[in-house]
Amino acid sequence: MCLLAQSESVKKWIRSTFGVSNQKLVNRYLNSELLTAINCDSKTFERDLGLHVSLLQSQKLCRYQSKLLKAYFANPAEHLRLDCDRLIFTIDCSANDIDNIIKPIGKKQVSRICKISDSSLSDLFSIKRARAANINRDWKANKDIEQTRPFYSHEFLFQIKSNERAWLRLYVSDGTKNDNGKTSIRIDFIPDRLEDKEIVAIFGHIRARLGAYRYQQLFSRAKIKRIDFGFILPGVLSTYLYAYRDIIKKIHSSCWPIGNDKIKETTYLGNHKTSSHIIIYEKLLKEAQDHEEVFDILDLLAVTTRCEFRFLADKSNKRLNLTTMFEAPNRLDELKVFDPKYLFLLSDETLESMLKDKTQYNLKSLKSSIRKQLKRGDKKLKYFKIDEQWLIDSKKELMNHYSDLILNQASET
């Protein structure tokens, strides 16, 4: 795929996901005011704290953001879509299974998995070797990791030809660097970026290499390592979204970028290095940092906040496979979001503190002060919470769908 075609493909995706014209609840004129918070040169929020405070002190913008959040949280079935932004699982297998994937064949001696005999598949995706470096980054440095997880000697990248953002990575541990000689494979992809037919085609190809019976045998006992669930809030700028997890247990939380004077773009509710956690971030800004094309059409796009729960199985007591992954917890129902309708009544000092520190501790510490300030204006602090049953039903439907694609439909190709 040429660079020009790639750029157009990215722009098409950006328009479909963030385009104001595709969002019936987004106000084009008010959205353009919110876009001033983004610095196109630094690809960050504007550093001028006064600018952000002035946006939060706009009564019309506060009411607009409140209206959007109320619609999204009151009726998620109509306005929101739960998606899966990451799925990683591993499979213990035999040396013979590994040979069926990596053993060289043909005149060019390419690994078996790279050989695509069906022309319809070769038109859809490519497979090439990649350098399995990042996946092993902590393997030598962390003795615990070295003892509990394999060293991956091979990496294969499945790339959808019509969409550079759609890929799947297959890692192979051939046992040569593991003390116990254990062999296994690891699969990592972003389901939401792939069409159903692409998922079926890729896993159907893997099935063809392993053999139909063996594929079913292996994949039915895959071990889930990570699942990311979440939804986006089109039109909501993350500097208006202040949330904490409504639980008794004390949790660690942090923000990014680091620094007491920085406007926060990302908030982690839970330790993102050692446990499953919620992450809230400015999605449009994140995509702008990854894709220059965003700035070419920025005035046509809606600011967008993403709320996501990242389930890390190794940091949890819950063990799941492809048929039971719908049982993965989704802590997004714990989110308690401040209604931003009356943020404009708060003092400069309070707003500055909220902008620079969105941690669980700081927001809960500020609640008393916020209530007092709102009371002077004869207002009350209100909250939004997502419908728990919608989360449960949506997650079950979503995970069962991907399970069906991988275990059943891929077996029919």
4 pLDDT more than 60: no
Looking from the CA of 121 toward its CB, the CA atoms found within 13 Å total: 18
105 CB burial (10 A radius; 0-12, 13-18, 19+): exposed
Q: What is the predicted pLDDT for the residue at 117?
A: 82
Average pLDDT over residues 296-322: 95
Interaxial angle between packed helices 3-18 and 283-290, expressed in degrees from 0 to 180 and rounded to the nearest 10: 180
As a whole number of angstroms, the distance between CA 264 and CA 260 comes to: 9
Q: Which of 59-73, 164-178, 215-229, 350-364 has the lowest mean pLDDT?
A: 164-178
Three-state DSSP state, 335: strand
All residues at 6 or more sequence positions from 290 whose CB lies less than 8 Å from its CB, including other chains: none
Q: Please name every residue paired with 396 in a beta bridge, in sequence order, or none if there are none.
A: none
Given pLDDT bands bounded at 50, 70 and 90, which one contains residue 3? Answer: low
pTM, rounded to two decimals: 0.94
Residue ranges of the alpha helices (H) in 196-330? 196-210, 212-219, 283-290, 293-296
Cis peptide before 104 (omega within 30 of 0): no
In the DSSP assignment, the letter for residue 368 is H
Average pLDDT over residues 340-353: 98
All residues at 6 or more sequence positions from 351 whose CB lies less than 8 Å from its CB, including other chains: 52, 53, 56, 57, 343
Distance of CA 17 to the CA centre of its chain: 14
Q: Where are the domains of the chain?
A: 3-83+228-398, 87-227
How far the first Cα of the chain sits from its last, in Å, is 26
315 CB burial (10 A radius; 0-12, 13-18, 19+): middle
Q: Which residue has the higher pLDDT, 22 or 140?
A: 22
